[in-house]
């Protein structure tokens, strides 16, 4: 007997399934004849796709779906299409109707809410300037302080101006790497110089 059933794939504790046509005697994740769809239960609502032309082909040849696959077929209307094919309609015409019809409210994908709008930044003269603080007071590694001093960055204000030029411009300082830049940004954040 031929069954249409789910075959588990995916990593541990991250199940995903393939809808397969297999011999009823074969193990759940063993040999199969054909993959005709996918099912992902981890998202809400669970997503599934089935190649309906292949599903109808196998159903016509006596394949028996398992209960979970039967529920998928009922949601997709596969059995109604199978009945129409048995009544004499062409499968290609039935599947073409599916493409032409407008989506139902359940199928409409809701757009994510717009991102929060950031408040405009005040012009330079209106912003409160950070106090003159030496770069050594940020408690950075000695190497990072030396590299910044060699680049002419002696105060926190100098560092903030360099950061305003962009991350790439800051990383262009000879001897300053990604890790050092992250330490500098973290230290500035901890002391309230940047958000």
Position 67 scores a pLDDT of 93
pLDDT in tens, the chain (195 residues): 899 999 998 889 999 999 999 998 988 888 889 999 999 988 888 888 888 888 989 998 889 999 999 998 888 888 888 888 888 888 788 778 766 655 555 555 555 555 555 555 555 444 454 557 777 777 777 788 888 888 888 887 888 888 888 877 777 888 888 888 888 888 887 777 776
Position 185 scores a pLDDT of 82
CA–CA dist 63, 90 (Å, integer): 20
Position 65 scores a pLDDT of 92
Q: How far apart are the first and last CA of the chain?
A: 65
Position 169 scores a pLDDT of 78
For the chain, what are the domain ranges?
A: 2-100, 135-190
Closest residue by Cα to residue 19 from 5, 33, 40: 5
Whether the model pTM is above 0.85: no
**Which residues, 6+ apart, have CB-to-CB distance to 28 below 8 Å?**
5, 6, 7, 8
Top-level CATH class of 135-190? mainly alpha
Position 109 scores a pLDDT of 52
Position 20 scores a pLDDT of 93
Reading the block at residue 33, the tokens are 């004849």
Q: What is the CATH topology of the domain spanning 2-100?
A: S16 Ribosomal Protein; Chain: A; (3.30.1320)
Position 6 scores a pLDDT of 92
């Amino acid at each position: 007997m031929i069954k249409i059933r789910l075959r588990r794939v995916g990593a541990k504790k991250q199940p995903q399934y393939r809808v397969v046509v297999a011999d009823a005697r074969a193990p759940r994740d063993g040999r199969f004849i054909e993959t005709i769809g996918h099912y992902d239960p981890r998202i809400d609502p669970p997503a599934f796709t089935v190649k309906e032309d292949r599903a109808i082909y196998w159903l016509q040849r006596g394949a028996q779906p398992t209960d979970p696959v039967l529920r998928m077929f009922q949601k997709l209307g596969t059995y109604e299409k199978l009945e129409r094919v048995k009544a004499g309609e062409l499968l290609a015409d039935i599947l073409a109707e599916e493409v032409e019809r407008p989506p139902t409210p359940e199928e409409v994908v809701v757009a994510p809410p717009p991102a929060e709008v950031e408040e405009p930044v005040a012009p330079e003269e209106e912003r409160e300037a950070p106090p003159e603080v030496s770069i050594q007071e940020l408690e950075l590694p000695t190497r990072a302080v030396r590299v910044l001093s060699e680049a002419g960055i002696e105060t926190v204000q100098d560092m903030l101006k360099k950061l305003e030029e962009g991350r790439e411009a800051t990383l262009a300082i000879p001897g300053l790497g990604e890790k050092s830049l992250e330490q500098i940004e973290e230290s500035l954040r901890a002391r309230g110089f940047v958000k």
